Amino acid sequence: MTIPDEFLGLMAEKFRMLADSSRLAILRLLMAGERNVTGIVEGTGLSQANVSKHLKMLADAGLVERRKQGLLVFYRVGDPLVERLCELVCDTIVREARRDVEGRTRLLEGWRSETTRAVSNGDEP
């Protein structure tokens, strides 16, 4: 698939919205269900001003949707792709961590073998 040049700026903006840990914390909370600002502040530990700023950015980018109920405004994930992207990134992080652990395990096993050989030969490890 070739991505048209006209899409690149739009894609960059979507990725930019996902490149902030505070916005990701908000999205993670909203993936569990709809919340108002107070619920998001309590769930993330961020200040109300910070949450409001990030919610506006996320809404402008189409990643969250608003629903007004009386005086309250409720937010929810507005694009199901958000959750899928987060799952894909988390899967990649887990795979990379496993490869890192496997590599370090091989390193330690090699060191252990060398140490065992040295000790059995009467050498210093």
- Kindly report, residue by residue over 25-74, the tens digit of the pLDDT: 999 999 999 999 999 999 999 999 999 999 999 999 999 999 999 999 99
CATH dotted code for 5-77: 1.10.10.10
Q: Considering the entire predicted model, what is its pTM?
A: 0.78
- The structural domains of the chain, with segments of one domain joined by +, span 5-77, 80-125
pLDDT tens digits, 97-113: 999 999 888 888 877 66
Per DSSP, helices labelled H in the chain are 5-17, 21-31, 37-44, 48-60, 81-120
Q: Which amino acid type is present at position 13? A: E
